[in-house]
Amino acid sequence: MTVSPYPIRCRGLLFDMDGTLVDTTVIVERNWKLWCDEHNINFEELISTSHGRPSFEIMKQWAPDHLKEEYQSPAYCESLEVRVTTDTEGMILIPGATELLKSLPADKWAVVTSAGRDMAVTRFQQCGFPKPPILVTASDVTRGKPHPEGYMSAAKQMGVDSKDCVVFEDAPAGIRAGVASGATAVIGMNTGTMPLEHLIEAAANPVIQSFEELEFKFLEDGWIEIHHK
């Protein structure tokens, strides 16, 4: 008999961005494919290890040796992100994301993303999402996902312990970051960006397909209860 994880109690909600709130998989893969073609790099191998990771880490792993230093520079990675950010064809909002974010008290949520700050801010504007009260980006951490630094930083800025937070993630690297942060739960977003088994293997529990499955109750004592409808 499977025991339901609901209701889940927490003091803060920590969201990944891409694949969790908005799906830009088609855009990201289209632009990485162009880059791989330019440098004769196996696209399938690159993309299988890249989801949820910062651009500079992908460059460190995949850029040709004679170009690694240049391609890991902030300026070059920023130029790549500008190309991806200005491309909106195929962008899909995750069902229920807009309504949820607009309903949340400002002191109860944060966004932790492997994207750069300019890219994250622009994406939120493109999606019509409210401005995140706390935004932790690739430029704000020294170690990207799967390291928990980003999630722990967001929790600290919210004034809560990371073990009292719930993380929402769609990628194994991000799920592992959430687990390593000690979060009370890491909810896997099965939005189609990654195979379901990869989310489960990374220890996501529970797993949902959209925010429309959940109900959030904000209690007088400052805690949040998450119920499955």
Contacts of 220 (CB under 8 A, 6+ apart): none
Please say whether the dihedral angle defined by the alpha carbons of residues 9, 189, 14 and 212, taken in this order, is positive or negative.
negative
Active site residue 16: yes
Residue type, 194: M
Q: Give residues with Cβ within 8 angstroms of 2, minimum separation 6.
A: none
Helix residue spans in the chain (DSSP H): 25-39, 43-48, 55-62, 68-71, 74-85, 97-103, 117-127, 149-158, 172-180, 196-201
Which of 18, 23, 164, 170 is catalytic? The answer is 18
Neighbours of 159 (CB within 10 A): 9
18 is a catalytic site residue: yes
Q: Which residues are known to be catalytic?
A: 16, 18
